Amino acid sequence: GCPAPKVVKNHEGSAMLKNPENAYRVLKALVAAVDMPVTVKMRIGWDDQHINIMEMAQLAQEAGVAAIAIHGRTREQFYRDQADWGIIGKVRASLRIPVIANGDVRNVQDLAKIRQVTGCEAVMVGRAAQGNPWIFRQLTEYLKTGAVLPGPTIEERKEVIIRHLDMLLKFKGDYIGPREMRKHATWYTKGIKGSAELRCLFNQAVCRDDFLRILDKMK
């Protein structure tokens, strides 16, 4: 499923959509080699002229995979346009194994709609969790009770930013850690009042104290 150029140029990830027979051989060999369920994630095709998800899904099922996750875009789309949930539903209806729907699930409304459109057993969340780990408690609560929980408070955002920063400092060190944290801090504060100013400040932070001073400005 991966569309990244550095992956595709090695005939890996989404590039395997261009060679279904080889993908089948790889999946079958993997299933035979391990004593655990094997799942596969794929896109719906290479481009608009080569949408072969129905064939690929059938081959994956024949290879013995336990479930298939489908991102409703072609490789050439990357993350442009709206994911095609309808085709995911068609694949689901044609298979015996579970299908996991993926693409553009950003809130409980999207969750409800993708489940209705696809009929899938599960839903996968990717980019929507960047800077918003609270989405999982919201989606889980909605599935359990139908309630829509509010988003995180400012204090919750601050706590997670500090925790994330401390983990990066521990694993990446005092130089790389703060610099990697800049983008994460920007994601955590996206959409709140003054987020543009905060983004500029985060992009200049070089140590833990810099982040703490910036967080003090969040109200």
Span 134-156, pLDDT tens digits: 999 999 999 999 999 999 999 99
Per-residue pLDDT at 48 exceeds 90: yes
Which alpha helices (DSSP H) does the chain contain, by range? 5-8, 20-33, 53-63, 85-94, 108-118, 135-145, 154-188, 195-202, 208-215
Report the pLDDT value the prediction gives residue 93, as an integer from 0 to 100.
Answer: 97
Residues in the chain: 219
Per-residue pLDDT at 219 exceeds 90: no
Span 77-136, pLDDT tens digits: 999 999 999 999 999 999 999 999 999 999 999 999 999 999 999 999 999 999 999 999
Report the pLDDT value the prediction gives residue 3, as an integer from 0 to 100.
Answer: 96
Told to judge if 120 belongs to the known catalytic residues of this protein, a careful annotator would answer: no
N- to C-terminal Cα distance for the chain? 40
Which CATH fold would you assign to the domain 5-145? TIM Barrel (3.20.20)
Cα angle at 120 between 98 and 78, to 5 degrees?
Answer: 100
- Active-site residue (options: 2, 120, 200, 207): 2
Residue 192, classified by CB atoms within 10 Å of its CB into exposed (0-12), middle (13-18) or buried (19+), is middle
Share of the chain above pLDDT 70, in %: 100
DSSP character at residue 170? H
Are the beta carbons of 1 and 45 closer than 8 angstroms?
Answer: no
In whole angstroms, how large is the CA radius of gyration of the chain? 20
Provide mean pLDDT across the span 9-29: 97
Which CATH fold would you assign to the domain 154-215? 1.10.1200
Residue 120, classified by CB atoms within 10 Å of its CB into exposed (0-12), middle (13-18) or buried (19+), is buried
Intrachain domains 5-145 and 154-215 with the same fold: no
Report the pLDDT value the prediction gives residue 187, as an integer from 0 to 100.
Answer: 97
Q: Where are the domains of the chain?
A: 5-145, 154-215
Span 179-190, pLDDT tens digits: 999 999 999 999
Residue 83 token pair: 């994911």
What is the SS3 string spanning 24-76?
HHHHHHHHHHCCCCCEEEEEEECCCCCCCHHHHHHHHHHHCCCEEEEEEEECC
